Amino acid sequence: MANISTSFMGINMGSPIIVGASTLSNHTDNIKRAEDAGAGGLVIHSLFQEQIELEAMEIEDELLISSDHFPESLTYFPQMKHAGAREHIMWVEKARKEVKFPLIGSLNAISEGKWLEYAKQLEEAGCDALELNLFSIETDPAKTPDQIESQSLEIISDVKSSVSIPVSVKLSPWHTSIANYAKKVAEAGADGMVMFNKFHQPMIDTEKESIVLNWCLSSPEESRVPLRWIALTSGLMDVDLAANTGIYTAEDVIRQLLAGARVAQIVSALYSHGLEHITALNTAISDWMDKHGYKTIEEFRGKLAKHQVNDPYAFERAQYVSLLMSAHDPRAKYGLVHGYYPVEVRPGRVSG
């Protein structure tokens, strides 16, 4: 029988499936159910920099006054008794006592500040690792990409110097040069990277003529973005990679492992199918490994990464033209494409 255990940032895990940061971890019962279902670990819902700063500043009156102009602000900054950073730390301590599998604390930060001390507190509360989510909306046209990246790299370095547990960074897929930024993140001390962040975008309600925020689950097609970049970068840096976004099935997980990921984070699949879905995924991964003759994940992990395949350009733009000319192009159904050039890439090092 196949062994589906793996490791991420040096942390042993019984499965390559991690429950990503979400409201699923708001209840200890869910965390215990995730462990019982066979999850390799769980990322606790994020502690936001704004929560910490609001706790340090008595500005609830200002928030209430401004709510007439920005009512949605109360969604982001609820009253302190419900959103305090200290309460979050206490919650982590409680969760740690309930389960034995790895717990990863999540910090969502946008700038340097005193909030950094909470990285250490999350470690002391029992987190086995930290995940940094550095997403922010940069709207100042005078702020350069270099300035934005430098600020995030300083945060990574500061957090690493304040804790002794591993630290991963959740990347955005929108960097001008993902490979270059990932390299800088590794050099700043990150032990792992999560590809990629799932952003919740605002929408306009045309009837109410107002801006609304709502949840949108990932679609399976979105998993192709982390798949490409994990395959492209897994051989470039000495850090562990986690896939995130659009991962629903065992086949989705296996694809990410073949590309070079060590683990896959899932959230939308659990909202859709329940936490018991983890058990089904583990079983299907094990069955696939048995069918293909693999006893451990390491025997096939990274088999289709860029540096391992016979066509190192398979994940790059060179194949774009071939795809457009192939039978898989939906235009072929209507007779708009007369020739096709099927593309198949197999494992095998490039000689020369």
Q: Tell me: the pLDDT tens digits for 99-128?
A: 999 999 999 877 676 678 889 999 999 999
Q: Which single residue is written with the structure tokens 């110097």?
A: 161
Per-residue pLDDT at 345: 57
pLDDT for the residue 86: 84
- Per-residue model confidence (pLDDT) at position 329: 57
Residue numbers of the chain with a pLDDT score lower than 50: 58-61, 63-83, 336-342, 349-352
CA distance 43 to 313: 34
Distance, in Å, from the CA atom of 7 to the CA atom of 261, rounded to the nearest integer, reads 11
**171, β-bridge pairs:** 195
pLDDT of 63: 45
- Cα 204–208–209 angle (5° rounding)? 50
- CA 336 vs CA 150, 158, 333, 340, 343: distances in Å: 48, 56, 7, 11, 19
Read off the pLDDT of residues 321-340 as tens digits, 9 standing for 90 and up: 666 666 555 555 555 444 44
| Domain annotation for the chain: domains and CATH numbers | 6-308 (3.20.20.70), 310-352 (no CATH)
Element (H, E) at 241: strand 240-244
Residue 350 DSSP one-character state: P
